[in-house]
Amino acid sequence: MKLNRIQQEEVLSFAQQLIRVPGTSGNEGQVAPLVNQKMRELGYDQVQIDPYGSVIGVIKGSRPGPTLLFDGHMDVVPIREPEQWSCDPYGAVVVDGKLMGRGSADMKGSLAAMICAASYIDRAAFAGTIIVSASVAEELMPGRALEKILDTFTADAVVIGEPTDLRLGFTEKGRCTIAMNARGRVAHSSRPELGENAIYYAVNAIDRIKAAPLHSDSALGSEVIELVEIRSSPSPGNGTVPDQCWGLWECRLLPGESEQALLARLANCQKDAKWQDKISFTIETIDIACYTGKHLVGKDFLPGWKGDENSGIYRQMQAAIEKSGIPLIHWPIPYGCNALASCGLRGLPTVIFGPGNVECAHKPNEYLEVRDLWKATEVFGLAMELNGVYA
């Protein structure tokens, strides 16, 4: 599949339209109607908005075959440094072949490419069903909106369109947020020996966790277990030895790590310490209010995954990339995304592929090379046309 001039213009102009409507996580209410309308204009067989606000479009081929789901998120991160932008972050201007703006690379360009590609393929020629989902709230909580979509729509394989700079993402670190609680006993600060200072317990526990060896993997490198926040109580603590200290650990975990194993590792670091029974670890819960009023709630633990090179979707995407004429480069994904739900939680064969470089995402002057946007549209279309061939 090769895009003609009119299709190139359509993909670019739809990406621009999406960028011009800001929508952070939970505020995609202006973006969703654009997607809904575009899918209808493009002749999707079925388009619906789910209770959480994700838009799902379905196109059926001419004969039976597998269902392939393409997913891209509609939400973007907020603008933090407006003065550092050389253009309007929501202007979506094209400068020197680059589409500028928040969400150009992550990932409204890719979303436009997937939505358009599904309507450019020859319906008479492909097998099975193509689903394109424009999901909500990925930036705050990867995976949860896609899980809800997969509860309703059964898919045999999934392509996540996150920016990979047109490389094929085949493995991804998992993520988890863990709250650490240290419990002590209050006392007047002039007589600390009468209490138990929870901060000291926490500091010692932190030292032990930092001293423990980290796991590593040949593709993904080292796992990450990083303390990002600490608080104590009472606060202000004038005159009082604190009886509570709370810390937050963010983890990027390798495939194979489970909730129970991680909690056991952290607890094990405290073994034989005198504060051992004063420290507890729990996995955090995230609750996001969607623009529809519904809430996405879930434990913040999503396991990492490693794709199977012999799976149909893996060979299908490789063939599409080769046919499109771009080099086939495999890439271990350094960030967390919706694939953590489709593959990490559910074990569905998943690959990640999209235009744009993640290094410019979430930053001032985010951009997407327009030629990569068009190339990605062609790869998505080629993969859709090959649906069922590599099952």
At closest approach, how far in Å is the CB of 88 from Zn ion? 21
Residue nearest to Zn ion (CB): 106
Instruction: Compare residues 106 and 223 and give the one whose CB is closer to Zn ion.
Output: 106
d(CA 97, CA 114): 20
User: What does DSSP say about strands 157-160 and 350-352: parallel, antiparallel, or unpaired?
Assistant: parallel
DSSP state of 63: E
Buried b (16+ CB within 10 A) or exposed e, 160-173: bbbbbbbbbbbbbb
At closest approach, how far in Å is the CB of 81 from Zn ion? 19
Residue that is written with structure tokens 């493009």 in the block: 42
At closest approach, how far in Å is the CB of 104 from Zn ion? 12
Query: Helix %, strand %, coil % for the chain, to 5?
Result: 30, 30, 40
At closest approach, how far in Å is the CB of 59 from Zn ion? 24
Instruction: Compare residues 22 and 388 and give the one whose CB is closer to Zn ion.
Output: 22
Task: Report the DSSP beta bridge partners of residue 154.
Answer: none
Q: Does 28 bind Zn ion (CB under 5 A)?
A: no
Token code pair at residue 90 = 């929501």
Site for Zn ion in 275-334 (CB under 5 A): none
Listed in sequence order, the DSSP H helices in 72-225 are 109-120, 144-152, 198-211
Instruction: Compare residues 273 and 360 and give the one whose CB is closer to Zn ion.
Output: 360
At closest approach, how far in Å is the CB of 106 from Zn ion? 4
Part of the chain binding Zn ion (CB under 5 A), chosen from 31-39, 103-111, 147-155, 308-316 = 103-111
d(CA 141, CA 52): 13
At closest approach, how far in Å is the CB of 73 from Zn ion? 6
- Show the binding pattern over residues 369-388: x = contacts Zn ion (CB under 5 A), - = does not: --------------------
DSSP state of 24: B
d(CA 285, CA 144): 12
At closest approach, how far in Å is the CB of 247 from Zn ion? 28
DSSP state of 136: S
Part of the chain binding Zn ion (CB under 5 A), chosen from 104-112, 187-195, 230-238, 279-287 = 104-112
Site for Zn ion in 156-185 (CB under 5 A): 162
d(CA 240, CA 118): 64
At closest approach, how far in Å is the CB of 210 from Zn ion? 30
Residue pair 117/377 in contact (Cβ under 8 Å)? The answer is yes
At closest approach, how far in Å is the CB of 198 from Zn ion? 38
Instruction: Compare residues 140 and 326 and give the one whose CB is closer to Zn ion.
Output: 140
Token code pair at residue 367 = 């951009």
Residue pair 36/55 in contact (Cβ under 8 Å)? The answer is yes
Of 28, 50, 106, 366, which one interacts with Zn ion (CB under 5 A)? 106
Binding residues for Zn ion, rule CB under 5 A, total: 3
Instruction: Compare residues 28 and 106 and give the one whose CB is closer to Zn ion.
Output: 106
d(CA 194, CA 200): 14
DSSP state of 107: I
- Show the binding pattern over residues 53-92: x = contacts Zn ion (CB under 5 A), - = does not: ----------------------------------------
User: What are the strands of the beta sheet with 367-369, ordered from one edge?
Assistant: 94-95, 98-100, 367-369
Part of the chain binding Zn ion (CB under 5 A), chosen from 3-11, 98-106, 267-275, 349-357 = 98-106
Of 107, 115, 117, 343, which one interacts with Zn ion (CB under 5 A)? 107
Instruction: Compare residues 161 and 242 and give the one whose CB is closer to Zn ion.
Output: 161
Instruction: Compare residues 107 and 202 and give the one whose CB is closer to Zn ion.
Output: 107
Which residues form the interface with Zn ion (CB under 5 A)? 106-107, 162
